[in-house]
Amino acid sequence: MTTPTHLRTRPYTAPRTRARILEAARLELGRDPDCTLADIAEAAGVARRSVYVHFTGRAALVEGLAADAAEAVRLASEASRTPSPDPATALACFVLTLWPAADRYLVLVNLARQDLGAHRVTEVLTPARTAVAGILAQGQRQGVFHTTVPPGPLSRALEAYLLSLLETSDSTPWTNDGPTAATTTLIAAGVDNARATATVHHLHTTT
């Protein structure tokens, strides 16, 4: 196995080594949920014993990924609480804030049955689901989003949509980036194409 360039050996402090191992775990578990700690150590460019210095085993390593994902969800959810008179802008901002770390959630969902349990994944994602449902409820009241599906189920449907984009990004010729994800999420929620594109473009060029 060839160690990725950004993971090749160089002097690291303990926190940076831990982050290095977590990043390798995210990549390797994303490719193969059954990979071993030895595989992860090799991908991180460290000795297997170094993994055990930071994590007591596979369960602790996966929980480390869950904790990282939970923090990213928390930050995105807090950002979405900033008052906005436009629900479309609020939803687009949420997706743009969350997208850089979204692949971590895909890994967690794939590991839910084997390692974390569905309850832990739900715990991690609840702040995001609550925040999005609130934005959708506001938008439905204002006529911005379609009202066929209630906010809670619609939030889960959009979550599944975003995860499906991540799953197919390596096998289909589309631009896997935050603006594209945010724009298509708005469209899926009921915003017309022109408004969705303009909303995301404005956010992306002013942040």
Tell me the pLDDT tens digit for each residue of 184-194: 999 999 999 99
Structure confidence at residue 178 as a pLDDT band (50, 70, 90): confident
**Phi/psi zone of residue 185: left (φ > 0), alpha (ψ -120 to 50 degrees), beta?**
alpha
* Helices first, then strands: H and E counts in the chain: 10, 0
Is residue 174 predicted with pLDDT exceeding 70? no
Does residue 185 contact residue 95 with C-beta atoms inside 8 Å?
yes
Give the burial string for 115-135 (b: 16+ CB within 10 Å, else e).
bbeeebbeebbebbbebbbbb
d(CA 103, CA 179): 15
Task: Name the pTM for this structure.
Answer: 0.76
d(CA 113, CA 136) in angstroms, rounded, equals: 29
- pLDDT tens digits along 44-55: 999 999 999 999
What's the pLDDT tens digit per position in 13-45? 678 889 999 999 988 988 888 899 999 999 999
What tokens does 85 get? 């008179």
